[in-house]
């Protein structure tokens, strides 16, 4: 059983894995994962945008599933594995990131981390998604620059790159 401590100040000890590293934090119960990542841990690849779960700029993986970190309370991640855009690349660019660069799958780049995280989750579940499955996986991500053509090309290129590895 996971140990959970709650004290009088509305704080809780959170134990989780972040980008492959074990982490123990003292967090406010009212703090969202987005703010823990960006403000407390300096992981600014996860973007702050709408803060109501509509744009996907703050998308991270929690136990391999894409979630909007602006809607996720930090304490909900107790015992879970969190992966941010910083954790996807490792020592070099992930093939998905390479494909986004090659195919112009970004314009201003603000939505790109959330898009890459969503594509990563999709390709971990399905190595050969259909066009409809790609669109469904990206439906929670909004590109305000309307760069969807490049994004879709990037996903297809990433699929081809991963198949050739």
Residue 66 zone, left/alpha/beta (φ > 0; ψ -120 to 50; rest): beta
Class level of CATH domain 11-88: alpha beta
**What is the pLDDT, as a whole number, of residue 1?**
34
Contact between 109 and 115 under an 8 Å Cβ cutoff? The reply is no
Where in the chain are the domains? 11-88, 93-164
Q: Which architecture characterizes domain 93-164 according to CATH?
A: Orthogonal Bundle (1.10)
Hey, do 11-88 and 93-164 end up sharing a CATH topology, with the first three levels equal? no
121 φ/ψ angles, rounded to the nearest 5 degrees? -60, -45
**What is the pLDDT, as a whole number, of residue 147?**
79
Cα gap 10→29, rounded to integer Å: 6
Per-block mean pLDDT, blocks of 10 residues, the chain (165 long):
52 94 92 96 96 96 98 95 93 93 92 97 97 96 90 96 92
**What is the pLDDT, as a whole number, of residue 29?**
84
Q: Token pair of 74, please?
A: 């930090």
């Amino acid at each position: 059983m996971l140990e959970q401590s709650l004290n009088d100040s509305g704080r809780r000890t959170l134990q989780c894995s972040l980008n492959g590293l074990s982490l123990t934090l003292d967090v406010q119960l009212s703090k969202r994962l987005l703010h823990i990542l960006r403000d407390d841990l300096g992981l600014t690849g996860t973007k702050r945008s709408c803060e109501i779960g509509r744009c996907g700029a703050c998308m991270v993986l929690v136990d391999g599933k894409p979630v909007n970190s602006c809607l996720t309370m930090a304490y909900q991640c107790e015992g879970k594995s969190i992966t941010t855009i910083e954790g996807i690349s490792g020592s070099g660019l992930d093939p998905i990131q390479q494909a986004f660069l090659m195919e112009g799958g970004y314009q201003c780049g603000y939505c790109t981390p959330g898009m890459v995280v969503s594509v990563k989750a999709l390709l971990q579940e399905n190595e050969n998604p259909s066009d409809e499955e790609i669109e469904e996986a990206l439906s929670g991500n909004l590109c305000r620059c309307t760069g969807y053509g490049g994004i879709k090309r990037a996903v297809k290129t990433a699929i081809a790159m991963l198949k050739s590895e």
